[in-house]
């Protein structure tokens, strides 16, 4: 599997080089049939080796991240089966929970795209912080 993936990467590099050479020759109004054939050939190799690599990885059940660590992170992912109550919404992506889990009572929801709010309440709720690009 690694060999076909490596060959696909080398074919992709060859495709990129031949494509740049083809475009350069074309821009200078010189014959570029050889570079066009090389570009097409490398494109076929990229598709072929990529398909073989994909088929082998699907057949073996391996993934790219399997067996590798993404390095140290401040956030740990653990599996919990707990029922908690949301006691307060702190911000658009942060909540306080009760009872706490592993000593943590504040939870930040990853992947939420919400504006940050300031703590001065208004009759309609929390006000969003003005964006930096607003005048």
The kind and range of the H/E element at 60 are: helix 33-60
Residue 28 lies in a domain: yes
Distance CA 101, CA 52 (A): 46
The backbone torsions φ and ψ at residue 130, rounded to the nearest 5 degrees and listed phi first, read: -60, 140
pTM over 0.75: no
Residue 103 lies in a domain: no
Residue 47 lies in a domain: yes
**Residue 34, domain extent:** 2-60
Identity of the highest mean pLDDT range in 49-53, 63-67, 74-78: 49-53
Residue owning tokens 């709720």:
125
Where residue 69 falls among pLDDT bands split at 50, 70, 90?
very low
Residue 104 lies in a domain: no
Residue 130 lies in a domain: no
Residue 82 lies in a domain: no
Q: What is the mean pLDDT of residues 3-9?
A: 80
> Does residue 19 register a pLDDT over 50?
yes
Better-scored residue on pLDDT, 42 or 77: 42
Residue 127 lies in a domain: no
Cross-strand partners of 84: none
Where residue 91 falls among pLDDT bands split at 50, 70, 90?
confident
What is the tally of structural domains in the chain? 1
Residue 77 lies in a domain: no
Cβ atoms of 118 and 126 closer than 8 Å = yes
């Amino acid at each position: 599997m690694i060999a076909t993936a490596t060959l696909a990467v080398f074919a992709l590099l060859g495709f990129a080089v031949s494509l740049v050479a083809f475009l350069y020759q074309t821009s200078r109004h010189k014959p570029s049939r050889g570079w066009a054939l090389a570009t097409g050939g490398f494109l076929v190799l990229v598709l072929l080796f990529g398909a073989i690599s994909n088929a082998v990885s699907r057949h073996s059940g391996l993934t790219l991240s399997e067996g590798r660590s993404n390095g140290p992170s401040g956030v740990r992912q653990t599996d919990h089966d707990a029922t908690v109550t949301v006691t307060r919404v702190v911000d658009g992506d942060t909540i306080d929970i009760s009872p706490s889990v592993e000593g943590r009572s504040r939870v930040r929801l990853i992947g939420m795209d919400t504006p940050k709010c300031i703590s001065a309440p208004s009759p309609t709720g929390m006000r969003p912080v003005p964006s930096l690009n607003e005048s």
